[in-house]
């Protein structure tokens, strides 16, 4: 439910010895490439949205002259995507596509000398590590690990590689399965038996192997068969694991808890594993919240990481901590900085750290000077930066907005001026009439100023009246920033003739910690009043048709829709809730990450002495169904284990039994999101068919 942004940090990689690749498996499916799409007018459509390339994982070459990155394109007919690799100069010149395969390439990185590129691909059946020349030639397989690998990083001295792979715990209750080879039943005796969209049957460990022998077939498990995982599931990536510059130490993130203790706690730590001694040290011991994403300074003297203070609070302030290895001391450099610090990147001289922080619903680049402790804002605009890398006298950063998906930019660290490097989707976007984005500050019922995005339809005519949508954000602590979504896409909504009102209501970061925390234990409280303040303010505009208002949202936004359905006083004429919480008492016992419901709802519903918990459950949307009077579309995925599909079923059944027009869009093969191309287009068509039916 929270917004998760994963940025892979820059890694210095080793070269590899040659080895004979395994025989390739044949794949008769057509190659997925960028295709020209026929536009129907100049408006965004679901098909156009799914034709856009998705740029990710930029990596800078050792000489800081070339960027390596991937772009994923989807083929709707094949119902799948494929990711290919590209290189481009930091000046935006010499764009080259270096792979053309039916097998997606992931986690591509440069070797330390810049003469090789390593990457992961499932070309031989399981995900393995490969290498090739920078022009894509001489493609060779490096690992042959049984079951495949999940991620990797290579030591700078070119002697060792670390990789992550799944470890299966010893089977319990083996005597009960004797003579039952076809039995499918699973027996559990503790919590966290499933997580987000997967039944937990294994956990990821770090392995180390030498490279001198050629192809790697096995490695040493540095976690000593511990029943813990790293990276942290379900969103953790290789940014949570790194080598020291001298190749002697591995730093990694781990929550060394299991079962019910794991389900109730967010307390992860930063561990250092010494290759020579085999000893492991916890450098964040006693720090009780999330500690993640360790990053060594280039001189190897310090480690920076992101840290949350409180155990059980997954949306606490992300602080920037730095650990002095020789002195064994750590410092919080963001004590007086009332914002989050994410995506940390050291400067080459080890004296400063660049990071991304959300301020007033825009994710900008900041710089921390370690000597003075001063934090400087580098960029300013209507956009979201998602990662930053120093490249000599400039920065290379990924940037997106509500008007365009991610592209790479060159940023002047002195002025903040940015210049585009890549133009992956320019040919399509230039042909579209795009929505105008406006920022407004709206007064709330308690006289606070609330930042709200207003998105106007293309070819907007203020003399006309438009149906208008209130957008409810998920998380619940996720900013309505300048994100580009391939499902909840504001350009797509506007292209269908709707004005969108997207408030940064109470409970969102980017407006100070106090604003962020005014939602936990107050579901159905001030943040719902904020939503109504936003839509009520907009209905005063002559171009808003106040008789044609809709309300849409997912996750906590879905909860918001269900709650407002029983408390909107006939403002809205249509609702859409995706993966929303409908019955909070059911939610408490159906979800898997117990820390979330314990913190945000206040605890279990049976604790009658807990006033916060009782207030939460009194505001459960199912308690207001008797007030429902408006058509509602409920959407849910079967593989969503954070908010299970029966929540959507309950809401749909309640509406139907009360005689309210309702539809239920059910995806048996989707989780908390909709990730398959054809399902994504079906989602879009159903979404707008429902809105058009009731609002036009």
**So which residues are the catalytic ones?**
555, 640, 672
Compute φ and ψ for 261, nearest 5 degrees: -60, -40
Across 519-648, the runs of DSSP E, i.e. the strands, are 544-554, 574-578, 632-637
Q: What SS3 class is residue 251?
A: strand
Q: Which two tokens stand for residue 282?
A: 């916890």
- Helical (H) or strand (E) element with 230: none
- For tokens 């593989």, name the residue: 639
Helix axes 526-538, 556-565, angle to 10 degrees: 70
Decide: 432 and 42 in contact? Cβ < 8 Å.
Answer: yes
Q: Are 667 and 638 in contact (CB under 8 A)?
A: yes
Question: How is residue 283 written in tokens?
Answer: 């450098």
Question: Which residues on adjacent β-strands are paired with residue 291?
Answer: 307
> What's phi and psi for 323, nearest 5 deg?
-110, 125
What backbone torsions phi and psi does residue 649 show, to the nearest 5 degrees? Answer: -65, -40
Question: How far apart are the C-alpha atoms of 31 and 33, rounded to whole Å?
Answer: 6
Cis ω before 234 (30° cut-off from 0): yes
**Residue carrying the six token digits 């809401």:** 651
- Residue 15: enclosing H or E segment and its boundaries? none
| C-alpha closest to that of 691 among 425, 501, 406, 497 | 497
Contact between 531 and 472 under an 8 Å Cβ cutoff? The reply is: yes
3-state helix, strand, coil in the chain (%, to 5): 15, 30, 50
Q: Which of 475, 471, 477, 468 is nearest to 453 (CA)?
A: 471
The residues that bridge with 501 in the sheet, in sequence order, are 454, 470
Place of tokens 């590209």: 86
- In angstroms, the CA 137 to CA 130 distance is 12
Alpha carbon distance 366, 347 (integer Å): 12
Report the alpha-carbon distance of residue 591 to residue 597 in Å, rounded. Answer: 8
**Torsion of the alpha carbons at 44, 45, 47 and 49, rounded to the nearest 10:** 40
Whether 84 and 97 have beta carbons less than 8 Å apart is answered as yes
Please give the Cα distance from 603 to 98 (Å, whole number): 53
Going by the DSSP 8-state scheme, the letter that residue 10 receives in this structure is: P
Query: Residue 138, class by beta-carbon neighbours within 10 Å (0-12 exposed, 13-18 middle, 19+ buried)?
Result: exposed
Using the 8-state DSSP alphabet, how is residue 13 labeled? B
Is the peptide bond preceding residue 490 cis, with omega within 30 degrees of 0? no
Kindly write down the DSSP assignment for every residue of 359-371, as one continuous string: ETTEEEEEEEETT
Contacts of 115 (CB under 8 A, 6+ apart): 15, 133, 134
Q: CA 368, CA 377: separation in Å to the nearest integer?
A: 9
Q: What distance in Å separates the CA atoms of residue 693 and residue 631, rounded to the nearest whole number?
A: 10
Alpha carbon 642 to its chain centroid, in Å, reads 15
């Amino acid at each position: 439910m929270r917004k998760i942004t994963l940025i892979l940090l820059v890694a210095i990689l080793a070269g590899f010895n040659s080895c004979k690749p395994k025989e390739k498996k044949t794949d008769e499916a057509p190659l997925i490439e960028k295709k020209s799409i026929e536009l129907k007018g100049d408006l965004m459509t679901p098909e156009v949205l799914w034709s856009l390339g998705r740029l990710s994982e930029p990596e800078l070459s050792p000489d800081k002259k070339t960027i390596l990155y991937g772009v994923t394109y989807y083929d709707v007919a094949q119902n799948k995507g494929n990711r290919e690799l590209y290189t481009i100069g930091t000046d935006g010149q010499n764009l080259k596509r270096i792979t053309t395969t039916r097998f997606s390439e992931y986690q591509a990185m440069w070797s330390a000398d810049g003469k090789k590129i390593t990457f992961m691909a499932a070309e031989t059946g399981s995900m393995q590590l490969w290498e090739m020349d920078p022009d894509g030639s001489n493609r060779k397989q490096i690992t042959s690990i049984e079951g495949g690998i999940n991620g990797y990083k290579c030591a700078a001295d070119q002697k060792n590689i670390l990789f992550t792979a799944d470890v299966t715990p010893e089977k319990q209750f083996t005597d009960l399965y004797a003579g039952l080879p076809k039995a499918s039943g699973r027996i559990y005796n503790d919590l966290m038996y499933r997580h987000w969209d997967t039944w937990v049957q294994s956990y990821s460990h770090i392995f180390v192997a030498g490279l001198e022998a050629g192809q790697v077939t096995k490695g040493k498990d540095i976690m000593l068969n511990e029943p813990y995982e790293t990276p942290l599931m379900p969103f953790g990536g290789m940014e949570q694991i790194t080598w020291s510059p001298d190749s002697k130490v591995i730093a990694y993130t781990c929550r060394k808890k299991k079962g019910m203790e794991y389900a109730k706690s967010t307390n992860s730590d930063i561990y250092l594993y010494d290759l020579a001694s085999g000893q492991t040290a916890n450098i964040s011991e006693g720090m009780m919240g999330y500690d993640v994403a360790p990053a060594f300074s280039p001189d190897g003297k310090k480690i920076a990481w992101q840290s949350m203070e409180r155990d059980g609070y997954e949306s606490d302030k992300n602080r920037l901590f730095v650990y002095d290895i020789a002195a064994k001391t750590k410092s919080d450099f963001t004590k007086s900085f009332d914002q989050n610090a994410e995506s940390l990147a050291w400067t080459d001289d080890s004296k400063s750290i660049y990071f991304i922080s959300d301020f007033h619903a825009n994710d900008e680049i900041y710089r921390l000077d370690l000597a003075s402790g001063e934090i400087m804002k580098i960029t300013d605009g209507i956009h979201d930066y998602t990662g930053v890398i120093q490249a000599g006298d400039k920065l290379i950063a990924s940037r997106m907005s509500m008007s365009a998906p991610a592209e790479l930019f060159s940023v002047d660290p002195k002025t903040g001026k940015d210049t585009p490097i890549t133009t992956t989707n320019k040919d399509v976007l230039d042909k579209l009439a795009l929505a105008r984005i406006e920022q407004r500050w709206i007064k709330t019922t308690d006289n606070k100023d609330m930042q709200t995005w207003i998105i106007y339809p293309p070819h907007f005519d203020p003399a006309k009246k438009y149906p208008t949508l209130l957008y409810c954000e998920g998380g619940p602590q996720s900013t309505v920033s300048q994100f580009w979504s391939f499902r909840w896409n504001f350009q797509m909504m506007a292209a269908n003739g709707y004005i969108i009102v997207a408030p940064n209501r109470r409970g969102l970061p980017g407006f100070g910690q106090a604003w962020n925390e005014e939602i936990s234990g107050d579901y159905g409280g001030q943040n719902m009043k904020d939503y109504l303040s936003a839509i009520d303010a907009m209905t005063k505009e002559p171009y808003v048709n106040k008789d044609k208002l809709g309300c849409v949202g997912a996750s906590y936004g879905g909860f918001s829709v269900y709650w407002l359905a029983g408390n909107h006083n006939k403002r809205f004429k249509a609702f859409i809730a995706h993966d929303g919480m409908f019955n909070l008492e059911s939610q408490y016992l159906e979800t898997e990450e117990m820390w979330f419901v314990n913190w945000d709802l206040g605890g279990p519903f049976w604790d009658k002495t807990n006033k916060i918990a009782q207030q939460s459950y009194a505001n459960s949307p199912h308690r207001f169904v008797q007030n429902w009077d408006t058509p509602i579309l409920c959407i849910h995925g079967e593989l969503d284990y954070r908010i299970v599909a029966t929540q959507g079923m309950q809401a749909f059944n309640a509406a139907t039994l009360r005689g309210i027009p309702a539809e239920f869009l059910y995806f048996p093969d989707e989780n908390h999101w909709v990730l398959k191309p054809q399902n994504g287009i079906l989602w879009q068509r159903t979404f707008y068919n429902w809105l058009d039916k009731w609002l036009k």
